[in-house]
Structure 1
Amino acid sequence: MATPLTASQILAALIAEGLDVKEHPGWRTHDRGNRGDGWGPVNGVMIHHTGGTAPSDGEIVWSGRADLPGPCAHAYLAKDGTLTLTSAGRANHAGGGDGAVLQAVIAESYTTRPPAPHKHDGSPGAVDGNARFYGLEVSDRGTGSAWPAAQYEAAVRWAAAICRAHGWTAKSVIGHKEWSDWKPDPAAFDMAAFRQDVQARLDASTKPKPPAAPVPSPAKPSVSLSKLIKAAKTDPPKSGTPVSYAGVKTVEAALAAEGLLAKSYVDGHYGTATKDAMSGWQERCGYRGRKPGQAADGIPGKDSLTRLGKKHGFTVIA
């Protein structure tokens, strides 16, 4: 047994289930009040067909008939799958039914279908279903023809949304024909198959998703300080062959990003332009003196190179 959902909770549950929801003006307070046995505790959801055609059947769901005041359900489902909310309280949809069916729904104890009903509205011992079930009226003449796919899918989602909000399984979903021995609805399908579809949706939506595989961070390029110093001290080389070391180009790209080296000099050779650029970076780091052997002479040092690497995404190794 459960406390009925509030209007806001109903709306949120249906939207979360992906339904196309419309709100009839005034639906939140449109109900039968405390007449009869009141509203709640609630135990399940009930599927109906209207027996008529749109739009008149939708108006009947809202306003009722001379012999049955509205609302006649909590929601009305059109052929195109649009769901219109018509009540958040007691509605005249279920009438009297079989208490044995109610107990099977409460316990969710049956296998594929609840016990066959032997009661109906007005019969001795009939139980008031209007107090215990949420009701969905589906626009259908009741000839047994299949519902459009969008309409059927929306009915499954409506039932699943209410069940999910209360923590029920699909065994809390019944058809009007399973509640009253007078009723044929819904005529378009077998309720056991409908419950299977509701349960499949509940299971698919509630299974914990496996954690996403961590996206490895791209490996930072590394620059060898000793190889970089060697390249800086031997370029231009006496032999005429530049010292080839990939780390030089990494450092040059960082210096170019700092605006200290023209991009045309990002060529992998630690020449005069690169030395001047490194000297400018060393001065930014607080070092002074551009003459050979001085702190800002353009020959890489551990501190200034490490700072450059932290800023531009490379690591410094010995």
Structure 2
Amino acid sequence: MAVPPTAAVFVAALRAEGLTVVEVGRWWEHNRNHKGPWGEVHGVMIHHTVTKGTATTVRICRDGHSTLPGPLCHGVIAKDGVIHLVGYGRTNHAGGGDPDVLAAVKAESYDERPPRPNVGNSDGVDGNRHFYGFECENLGDGKDPWPAAQLEAIEKAAAALCRLHRWGPKSVIGHAEWSDDKSDPRGFAMTSMRDRVADRLAVKEPAPPKPPTKPAQPAPAKPVVDLSKLQAAADADPPKRGTPISYYGVKVVEQALVREGLLAPSLADGHYGTATWRAYALWQRRCGFTGKDADGKPGVDSLKKLAAKRGFTITP
């Protein structure tokens, strides 16, 4: 069972194969799904457009014409190898075809070519449901050249979808191999194109480079607050001259109170003054303490709760 992927996966697969893709309008929602289902999908069908000029070709394949509404394919492969996406879902590209061909493509059970089709567009099975379609800019007269860049883009587009669905190259056919009243694509052989797709699929895609591994960094040490010295700092106004702030851990506690929204950042100055007293008293009340237990002087229980929440440790 091959369920069509999302449009994002579809375009990503084309680009991953090295194709240049132009997205035309809101191509991902332009389709004929109101006329019937799209999927299961079983292969990729290649066409020629019988048109000249990329802009004209893209417009016709997107909009269609009076007897055949667009989109007429999923992507237009221009002579320069650029793919122009014009639709996604059911499109008017394959028409009716031979059920024996569909079975052979689905099973990838034929030799060089699928069985010769015995039915045409008017009496065949619905190919628009079961195939991706790429229209290739070419007059289809056997004289209009197929540039190397265009043939390579056909190969890449077919291989991209084969990779996506884990198909082999026998899932890639021409319109003339599907229906007995079609002749496209004319000017190159689908047998040789399948050989090219097979060669591309045989090349294992290089694994993406692994990002350089960074040496493991030791976890930063948590700040340590000495409870007894912090309590002494809360009683001393100002703290003992020459004593480093880190000795008391005042600033660690103030920064925790700032992160709790209880102290203005500008007041986290390492001085356990009036503002810090008030902020810590609010923290104690938030912890459920009242009265003398919420007097703004750090106690072991409230400090443990603040340390657990704000990433520092305490010592007695």
- 2:203 counterpart SS class: helix
2:136 corresponds to which residue? 138
For residue 180 of structure 1, what is the amino acid of its counterpart?
S
Between the aligned partners of 1:151 and 1:61, the Cα distance in structure 2 is: 17
Larger radius of gyration: 1
1:87 is displaced (CA, Å) by: 1.4
1:188 is displaced (CA, Å) by: 1.1
For residue 107 of structure 1, what is the amino acid of its counterpart?
A
Equivalent pair of 1:6/1:88 in contact (CA under 8 Å):
no
For residue 133 of structure 1, what is the amino acid of its counterpart?
F
Alignment of 1:162 onto 2:165: no
Which stretches of structure 1, 4 residues or longer, exceed 4 Å deviation after superposition? none
For residue 77 of structure 2, what is the amino acid of its counterpart?
L
Equivalent pair of 2:176/2:183 in contact (CA under 8 Å):
yes
2:102 corresponds to which residue? 102
- 1:135 counterpart SS class: strand
1:88 is displaced (CA, Å) by: 1.6
For residues 169-188 of structure 1, the C-alpha deviation after alignment (integer angstroms, 9 at most, x for no partner) is: 00000000000101110001
For residue 32 of structure 2, what is the amino acid of its counterpart?
R
1:19 corresponds to which residue? 19
1:34 is displaced (CA, Å) by: 3.2
Between the aligned partners of 1:77 and 1:110, the Cα distance in structure 2 is: 27
For residue 78 of structure 2, what is the amino acid of its counterpart?
A
1:184 corresponds to which residue? 183
Between the aligned partners of 1:85 and 1:169, the Cα distance in structure 2 is: 23
- 1:46 counterpart SS class: strand
Normalising to structure 1: TM-score of the pair? 0.63
Normalising to structure 2: TM-score of the pair? 0.64
Alignment of 1:74 onto 2:78: no
1:56 is displaced (CA, Å) by: 1.6
Equivalent pair of 1:42/1:133 in contact (CA under 8 Å):
yes
For residue 134 of structure 2, what is the amino acid of its counterpart?
L
For residue 142 of structure 1, what is the amino acid of its counterpart?
G
Equivalent pair of 1:23/1:85 in contact (CA under 8 Å):
yes
Between the aligned partners of 1:144 and 1:22, the Cα distance in structure 2 is: 27
For residue 135 of structure 2, what is the amino acid of its counterpart?
E
Superposed, 1:1-318 pairs within 5 Å as: 1-36=1-36, 38-54=37-53, 55-123=55-123, 126-145=124-143, 146-206=145-205
2:239 corresponds to which residue? none
Between the aligned partners of 1:205 and 1:84, the Cα distance in structure 2 is: 27
Equivalent pair of 1:81/1:152 in contact (CA under 8 Å):
yes
Between the aligned partners of 2:191 and 2:79, the Cα distance in structure 1 is: 22
Between the aligned partners of 2:99 and 2:34, the Cα distance in structure 1 is: 21
For residues 265-317 of structure 1, the C-alpha deviation after alignment (integer angstroms, 9 at most, x for no partner) is: xxxxxxxxxxxxxxxxxxxxxxxxxxxxxxxxxxxxxxxxxxxxxxxxxxxxx
For residue 199 of structure 2, what is the amino acid of its counterpart?
A
- 1:47 counterpart SS class: strand
- 1:185 counterpart SS class: coil
1:80 is displaced (CA, Å) by: 0.6
Equivalent pair of 2:176/2:184 in contact (CA under 8 Å):
yes
For residue 68 of structure 2, what is the amino acid of its counterpart?
L
Q: Show structure 2 runs of 5+ residues with no match.
A: 208-316
Equivalent pair of 2:58/2:86 in contact (CA under 8 Å):
no
Between the aligned partners of 1:57 and 1:11, the Cα distance in structure 2 is: 20
- 1:34 counterpart SS class: helix
For residue 106 of structure 1, what is the amino acid of its counterpart?
K
For residues 28-78 of structure 1, the C-alpha deviation after alignment (integer angstroms, 9 at most, x for no partner) is: 100002313x10000000000001112222211000010000000000011
Q: Name which of structure 1's ranges 72-81 and 53-62 shifts more when overlaid on structure 2.
A: 53-62
Q: What is the percentage of aligned positions where both structures have the same residue?
A: 51
1:205 is displaced (CA, Å) by: 3.3
